[in-house]
Structure 1
Amino acid sequence: MSSRSGLTIMRVCFIIFLLGVLVELCDGGITSGYVRGSNLPDDMPLDSDVFTIPPGPNTPQQVHVTQGNHEGNGVIISWVTPVRPGSNTVRYWYENAQSKKQADATINTYRFFNYTSGYIHHCNIDNLEVRLFKNF
């Protein structure tokens, strides 16, 4: 064995030793006293009706509505169409309003190895009227 390979082995051993010492010295502590209960309900069965594909050849699936900005007067509406891009227009209006507004969505897909996603639509709607209800 040459002195160079012996030196390399010694360095590797020293690094492993150092990592072992660091692991022993580190203590992440406890972040919370919460422990998940053992009396949890069973998972939703895979044959539940909520997992059925909606009828129609290109019906929107996986529809999500999320908060669209920090002020709370916007939403993001997202949905997936499986076969081809669907309509990218979202129509919306105020309750009892005569005129209707519309917003256009962007459409994307992605690929990973042999997987290709459906057509993912994202529509941002801003400047919505915020109504605060004091009495329900």
Structure 2
Amino acid sequence: MENLSLAGFNDDQFGSITSLHDYVLGTTCGVDTGAAGLGTLSGSSGAGVLATALTVGGSDYTCKFDAQFCGALKTITEPDGKTTCLGLQHVNKVTATLTGDTGEAVTQSGNTFTVDECFTSFVSSTTP
């Protein structure tokens, strides 16, 4: 195990998630812990400035971001594997910029996130 340096975050769909731009509407990533988050996350505390050291046995760096996505409605299989719904699905991957204590780049895997948002609708009419 070794200490790491964390310098940034990049999302494969939204780009940098440490600032507001395009579809990134809020973030606590890269924001000083004594400050409010940016945009839609201004009610949350910042996660900490970057670059920062991640030490063995130390605290995790946890941050969040809000982003807007659009797409065509499709059939989504719910987590139970049996039920389906009509909704939106968005898959993205956030990668941290990490270097080891000897300066080598650190490779990451398994950081894909999927959002499934189901919708219900109904039709009403006031005509007989």
TM-score by length of 1: 0.26
Higher relative CO (CA 8 A, sep ≥ 6), structure 1 or 2? 2
Of structures 1 and 2, the larger Rg is shown by 1
More strand by share: 2
Q: TM-score scaled by structure 2? A: 0.27
